[in-house]
Chain A
Amino acid sequence: MTTKLLISRRKLLQTSAAGAALGFLPYSGSVQAATSATVGFIYVGPKDDYGYNQSHAEGAAALKDIAGIKVVEEENVPETVDVQKTMESMINLDGASLIFPTSFGYFDPHMLAMAAKYPKVQFRHCGGLWNKDKNPMNAGSYFGYIGMGQYLNGIAAGHATKSKKLGFVAAKPIPQVLLNINSFLLGARAVDPTITVQVIFTGEWSLAVKEAEATNALIDQGADVITCHVDSPKVVVQTAAGRGAFICGYHANQSPLAPDKYLTGAEWAWGTVYKMFIDKLQKGEPLPNFTRGGLAEGFVKMSPLGPGVNAEGRKQFEATLAEMMKGGFSVIKGPLKDNKGKEVVAAGKAYPETAIELESMDYLVDGVIGSTS
Chain B
Amino acid sequence: MGTPQIPAVSSLPIATSNLEGLARRSEAVAIPLAALLVGMVLFSVFIMLVGKSPLDFFDIMWRGAFGSWFSVQNSLSRAAPLLLTALCVALPARLGLVVIGGEGAIVLGGVAAAALGWWVDGASAFIVIPLMAIAGMIIGGLWMGIVGALRHYRAVNETISSLLMAYIAIALMNQLVEGVLRDPASLNKPSTHPLAQAYRIGNIPGMDVHWGLVAGIVACIISWLLIEKTRWGFAARIAGGNVRAAQIQGLAVGPLIVGFTALGGAFAGLAGMIEVAAVQGSANASLAAGYGYTGILVAFLARQNPLAIIPVAIFLGGIDAAGGLIQRRMDMPDATILVLQGMLFIIILFSETFYGRFVIFNPDLWKRSA
Q: Which residues of A contact B (CB under 8 A)?
A: 1-3, 5, 18-19, 21-24, 26, 46-47, 72-82, 84-86, 88-90, 92-94, 104-105, 108-109, 127, 172-176, 203-204, 359-360, 373
| 5 A-B pairs with C-beta separation under 8 A | A89-B71, A90-B328, A108-B281, A174-B188, A175-B187
A76/B68 contact (C-beta < 8 A), A82-B320, A85-B74, A105-B286 known = no
Q: Which residues of B contact A92 (CB under 8 A)?
A: 70
B221 on interface, CB distance cutoff 8 Å: no
Extra contacts, 5 of them, besides A24-B68, A81-B78 (Cβ < 8 A), are A3-B59, A21-B69, A73-B327, A104-B188, A175-B188
Q: Is A82 a contact partner of B70 (Cβ separation < 8 A)?
A: no
**Contact with B188, one of A21, A89, A176 (Cβ below 8 angstroms):** A176
* B208 smallest CB distance to A (angstroms): 8
Q: Report yes or no: B68 in contact with A94, Cβ–Cβ below 8 A.
A: no
Closest chain A CB from B79 CB (angstroms)? 11
- Tell me whether A89 and B325 are in contact in the complex, defined as CB-CB below 8 angstroms, given that A3-B56, A22-B68, A22-B69 are known contacts: yes
Question: How far apart sit A74 and B321, CA to CA, in the bound complex (Å)?
Answer: 12
Residue in B63, B69, B74, B187 whose CB lies within 8 Å of A174:
B187
Whether B158 is near chain A, meaning CB under 8 Å from some CB there, is no
Contact with A along B80-96 (1 / 0, CB 8 A): 10000000000000000
Contact A203 B324 (CB under 8 A): no
Select B328's contact among A19, A22, A47, A94, beta carbons within 8 Å: A94
Taking a contact as CB atoms under 8 Å apart, the answer to whether A79 and B289 are in contact is yes
A205 smallest CB distance to B (angstroms): 8
Q: Which of B35-43, B125-133, B330-338, B341-349 contacts A (4 or more CB under 8 A)?
A: B330-338
Binary interface encoding of chain B residues 276-309 relative to chain A, with 1 for a CB under 8 A from any of its CBs, else 0: 0001110011100110000000000000000000
A-B pairs, 7 with minimum CB distance: A24-B68, A76-B334, A79-B286, A22-B69, A72-B328, A78-B289, A85-B74
* Complex-state Cα separation, A84 to B324, whole angstroms: 12
Contact present for A74 and B78 (CB under 8 Å): no
Q: Complex formed: what's the CA distance from A108 to B330 in Å? A: 30
> Could you list which residues of chain B lie within 8 angstroms of chain A, going by C-beta atoms?
52, 56, 59-60, 63-64, 67-71, 74, 77-78, 80, 171, 174, 178-179, 187-190, 210, 275, 279-281, 284-286, 289-290, 320-321, 324-325, 327-331, 333-334
Among residues of A, the one whose C-beta sits closest to the C-beta of B291 is A80
Cα(A175)–Cα(B189), bound, Å: 10
Which of B63, B67, B330, B333 touches A46 (beta carbons < 8 Å)?
B333
Q: Of B56, B190, B333, which is within 8 A of A1 by CB? A: B56
Contact (Cβ within 8 A) A24 B70: yes
Q: How far, in whole Å, are A85 and B77 apart by their CA atoms in the complex? A: 8
Q: How far is it, in angstroms, between the C-alpha of A86 and the C-alpha of B59 when the chains are bound?
A: 18
**A109 touching B189 by the CB < 8 A rule?**
no
CB distance from B303 to the nearest CB of A (A): 27
In Å, the complex CA distance between A2 and B174 comes to: 43
Which of chain B's residues has its CB closest to A176's CB? B188
CB-based contact B321/A89 at 8 Å: yes
- B70 touching A3, Cβ below 8 Å: no
Residues of A within 8 A of B56 (CB): 1, 3
> Which chain A positions have C-beta within 8 A of B321?
85, 89
Task: State how many angstroms separate the Cβ of B2 from the closest Cβ of chain A.
Answer: 31
Closest Cβ of chain B to A214, distance in Å, is 16
Give, as a whole number of angstroms, the nearest-CB distance from B271 to chain A. Answer: 12
Q: How far is the CA of A104 from the CA of B187 in the complex (A)?
A: 11
**Contact residue among A21, A47, A85 (Cβ-Cβ distance under 8 Å from B78):** A85
User: What residues of chain A lie closer than 8 Å to B67, measured between beta carbons?
Assistant: 24, 26
Known contacts A46-B334, A80-B289, A85-B74; A3 and B329 CB within 8 A of each other: yes
Q: Tell me which of B188, B286, B289 has the highest count of chain A C-beta atoms within 10 A of its own C-beta.
A: B188
Q: How far in angstroms is the closest Cβ of chain B from A333? A: 22
Quick one: which of B69, B190, B325 contacts A19, CB cutoff 8 A?
B69
CB distance from B181 to the nearest CB of A (A): 14
Q: Which residues from chain A contact B324 at a C-beta distance below 8 Å? A: 74, 77, 85-86, 89
Q: A3-B59, A81-B279 are in contact. Are A75 and B333 (CB under 8 A)?
A: yes
